[in-house]
Structure 1
Amino acid sequence: MHSLQSQCSSDLELQESLCQRILYHSNRPELFSSSSGIRITKVTPGRAEGELTISETSLNPHGYVHGGCLTTLADTVAGTAVSSWGRPCVTVNCSMDFFSPAKGKKIFCSAVPQKVGKTICVYQCALTNDHGEHIGNGNFTFFLLDGGIPDAPKQKSGA
């Protein structure tokens, strides 16, 4: 892929630090995704995983998870994966394919790169339910912005 990959993977310690910073910033409680029941569970170079805890506010009038909620989950996970290259990003385009109605307690999402360029990244997401059934896919295009990922706050030592 591109030199962005070598930037993230050249030093394991820096790579782990970047992924931890992204994990911290992606799960801040004041974010729209967090208030929607979405949590990023794993960030590795170029990839991310997350989950949606289904609640009454996640549902459409028929009792299934709203497609917009599933799209938000996929967009959040894919954007987090893109950020693991060390730059913030914004969504340019997305499309979703739903294979079956989403229901249960949780929906899981994983994002993998299809193309990583200098300014554009294309990612695919897979959505599964809590029975492991593949319920949908998302395809996302992101624009990479200038700048980096901010540091996470320092942990206070002692109690």
Structure 2
Amino acid sequence: MTDQDAGDSESPLTFAQQVADAMYEKDVAAQHMGIKLSKVSPGYAVMTMTVTDKMLNGHAICHGGYIFALADTAFAFACNTANITTVTLNGNITFLSLAREGDMLTAVAEVQSQSGRTGLCDVVITNQEGTRIAMVRGNSYRVKSKIVADMPTADL
């Protein structure tokens, strides 16, 4: 994407941030779970979430659904930076380690491929010590609409 593609005064980074800000404002689920956007750039997003007592399962560890929700949120933010509404088509998670109450989880999502309406994105979730908690590989699907109506779209 050139600067002109994103508007006369917008860089690709600024463009991605504007799309992410618009998405986050409407993402009630992420806000409710305490998921925060740390960084975004074209095809890339970093999200964080602290494991609370309300996220624990019967084994006193973080329920896998919350870990997947964090990964899916980071996936969404990375895949939507081009201002083309993109949803998860498929996602596979592999749990590598336990997450416990108080852990600060970080999900790093990076688009690996985007071709036409489908794409591939990888997400790595770590804790505050850098231990890998889970890895997700997902396929995305672009629907033909924009996140922000008055902004152009761009390819990743």
Once the two structures are aligned, what percentage of the paired residues are identical? Answer: 25
1:84 to 67, 81, 86: 81
| Aligned twin of 2:95 | 98
1:114, distance to aligned residue in structure 2 (A): 2.1
- In structure 2, what residue type is equivalent to 1:143? Y
In structure 2, stretches of 5+ residues that fail to align are 151-156
Relative to 1, partners in 2 of residues 1:14 and 1:34: Cα closer, same or farther, differing over 3 Å?
same
TM-score (norm 2): 0.84
Deviation at 1:141, TM superposition (A): 0.8
Residues 1:10 and 2:2 aligned together: yes
* Shift in alpha-carbon separation, 1:141–1:128, aligned structure 2, 3 A: same
Match of 1:127 among 125, 128, 132: 125
Q: Taking structure 1 as the reference length, what is the TM-score of the superposition?
A: 0.82
Instruction: Look up the match of 2:105.
Output: 107
How far apart, in 1, do the equivalents of 2:15 and 2:140 lie? 19
Measure the CA separation in 2 of the matches of 1:22 and 1:64.
34
Can you give the 5+ residue segments of structure 1 that lack an aligned partner in the other structure? Answer: 1-8, 153-159
1:94–1:140 contact (8 Å) kept in structure 2: yes
Q: Within 2, Cα distance between the matches of 1:132 and 1:124?
A: 17
Q: Secondary structure at the match of 1:28?
A: helix
Deviation, 1:145, is 1.3
The answer for the alignment partner of 1:56 in structure 2 is 53
Which whole-Å deviations, capped at 9, do the CAs of 1:102-155 have from their partners, x for residues lacking one? 124310000112221110011010010011111210011111111222169xxx
Q: CA RMSD in A?
A: 1.9
Are residues 29 and 150 of structure 1, via their aligned partners in 2, closer, same or farther at CA, if it must alter by over 3 Å? Answer: closer
> Does the aligned pair in 2 maintain the 1:37–1:52 contact within 8 Å?
yes
| Distance (whole Å) between structure 1 residues aligned to residue 19 and residue 60 of structure 2 | 33
The match for 1:144 is 142
Partners of 2:61 and 2:23 lie apart in 1 by 26
Preserved contact between residue 36 and residue 49 of structure 2 (Cα < 8 Å): yes
Aligned length: 144
